[in-house]
Amino acid sequence: MLLGAACALLLSSCGAGRTGGVSKPSGDTHPVGGNKASAAPVVFADSLLLLGSLNLLASDALKGRDTGSEGLEKAADFLQTRLEAFGIQPYFETYRDTLSNTRETAFNIVGYLPGSDPGLSGEMVVLGAHYDHIGIVNMKNGDAIANGANDNASGTATLLEIARYFSQVRPPARSLVFAFFSAEERGLLGSAHLARKLRERDTRLYAMLNFEMTGVPMQGKTYLTYLTGYEKSNLAALCNQFGGEGLVGFLPAAGEYNLFQRSDNYSFYREFQVPAHTFSTFDFNNYPYYHDVADEASEMDYGHMARVVDRLIPAVRGVADSPAGTLKLN
């Protein structure tokens, strides 16, 4: 997420405002809070698989996954291997979609799951997360590798687990595109490339759901995640219908810092003018390691991540199955 100086200022004022430690993988995947969803609750996500994804993506071996780096290519290899194992086909001729707007060679990884309804499968729901980070930074406490566990190996692992689920069940009515973006940290370049490419192909985009910084729970909130651009569509209300009350809430700071325009959802909103939002659990107070060498896999809460996945799955299905016109801009 492109938070820049605003985030640095706020984090410096809140200090280590994060309360309590993070839990280690527990296998606890049960939804939290009340669930009045029209879809059945899901207990699927595997916290150990999430841990494995984070340990690889946020390892020193990948050297911070900077765009154009060997480390980012290793991350891309991992993502492609996982999609292949799930049986999710490439959206284009191959999984790798080379960017046209970067000096370095970089690519998105894009998979595709055809929809099951003949009348709606021509419409797409793009599910996205960026897998790049900022690479090597100034030395701090003997470490110069910004491993980017929360930003955004957590969102990447969340999307992988959602993809694994949908590869094993009846596909939703609309087709799903699983897009792992590079060059987000360079200015949303990976998502801008893909959004423009899809628009030029006259893609019928129904919605774009993006996952960013989902590795640590918020404290003292009545909702599990928040949605950027909350007021711009009825997506939050639909998610709480399909995924259960308390799945999505409104975070005032998200509006104050205009997070709607600071992550990959915005590229699709700009090109298509359809509901396009980011789900996150980073609230500026619960995690002090934004763009920091201390943003490590050991700091993530894998039970929380599994709960997020399990609560999001019925929401994703509900959106992708919804009758035409159900999801709309306000």
Phi and psi at 273, nearest 5°, equal 55, 50
pLDDT the model gives residue 53: 99
CA 115, CA 170: separation in Å to the nearest integer? 9
pLDDT the model gives residue 1: 74
In this structure, is residue 22 part of a structural domain?
A: no
In this structure, is residue 14 part of a structural domain?
A: no
Token pair 């929360």 in the structure block, residue: 150
Phi and psi at 41, nearest 5°, equal -60, 150
CA 32, CA 5: separation in Å to the nearest integer? 34
Q: Which residues of the chain have pLDDT under 50?
A: 5, 8-37
pLDDT the model gives residue 39: 67
Reported as type and span, the H/E element at residue 81 is helix 70-86
CA 11, CA 17: separation in Å to the nearest integer? 9
pLDDT the model gives residue 4: 59
In this structure, is residue 157 part of a structural domain?
A: yes
In this structure, is residue 13 part of a structural domain?
A: no
Domain count, the chain: 1
How many other CB atoms are there within 10 angstroms of residue 44's CB atom? 16
Q: How much is the CA Rg of the chain, to the nearest whole Å?
A: 18
pLDDT the model gives residue 251: 98
* Residue 314 one-letter amino acid: P
SS (H, E, C) 129-173: EECCECEEEEEECCEEEECCHHHHHHHHHHHHHHHHHHCCCCCCC
In this structure, is residue 327 part of a structural domain?
A: no
How many other CB atoms are there within 10 angstroms of residue 1's CB atom? 26
CA 62, CA 65: separation in Å to the nearest integer? 6
pLDDT the model gives residue 47: 98
Instruction: Give 156's contacts (C-beta < 8 A, 6+ positions apart).
Output: 53, 57, 79, 129, 130, 131, 180, 211
Of the candidates 86, 85, 64, the one whose C-alpha atom is nearest the C-alpha of residue 75 is 64
CATH number at residue 132: 3.40.630.10
Q: Please give the distance of CA 206 from its chain centroid, rounded to a whole number.
A: 18
Structure pTM?
0.90
In this structure, is residue 277 part of a structural domain?
A: yes
pLDDT the model gives residue 50: 99
Residue 3: both structure tokens together: 């938070």
Residue-number span of the structural domain to which 279 is assigned: 32-321
Contact in structure between 226 and 321 (CB atoms under 8 Å): no
* Residue 299 one-letter amino acid: E
In this structure, is residue 283 part of a structural domain?
A: yes
In this structure, is residue 12 part of a structural domain?
A: no
